[in-house]
Amino acid sequence: MKLHKTLAAILMGTALGVTGVVAPLPGNHDVAEAKWTQSRADQVIHVGTKYLGTPYKFGSKSSTTRTFDCSSFVQRVYREALGINLPRSSRSQAKVGVQVSKNSLKKGDLVFFRSSGSKSTSTYITHVAIYAGNNKLLHTYGKPGVTFTDFRGTSWEKRFVTARRVL
């Protein structure tokens, strides 16, 4: 992993500091930074897709990959893909990173929802998904377990509460 980070840092015009944190090299590297962030988002989606079809089970333990609930899935994918440790529950996950609007979603953003039976003004979070780009959510619920679903124009969009960027 260290070698991968070092190589990626060199290719993206950044340097690894003593702590292993990627820091920009002097100069204008906005494009390199955008590509690095995008490749990180692609890695999140890539890791998530290897679990497609894994059954949903409410309250699944963080230590298993045989079943997931929505927040254990998101937690597992971010830890496995990038070493990012997210809280266990969707409500706690909704407090990390930077808030982004529904119209500003980027691949890799966390998207939070209220339950289908709650009022349209409710902000009580009961579900989390990963925005996969191209109007798709990568998440798990009921059958078929881990899956991609459409976002805009669906009941998911109507249940939207907030979104957070952790990349």
Identified catalytic residue from 4, 29, 46, 127:
127
Identified catalytic residue from 4, 29, 46, 139:
139
User: Has 4 been annotated as catalytic?
Assistant: no
User: Has 70 been annotated as catalytic?
Assistant: yes
Identified catalytic residue from 4, 29, 46, 70:
70
Rg for the chain (alpha carbons), in Å?
A: 17
User: Has 127 been annotated as catalytic?
Assistant: yes
Residues 8 and 36 sit within 8 Å (Cβ to Cβ): yes
State the catalytic residues.
70, 127, 139
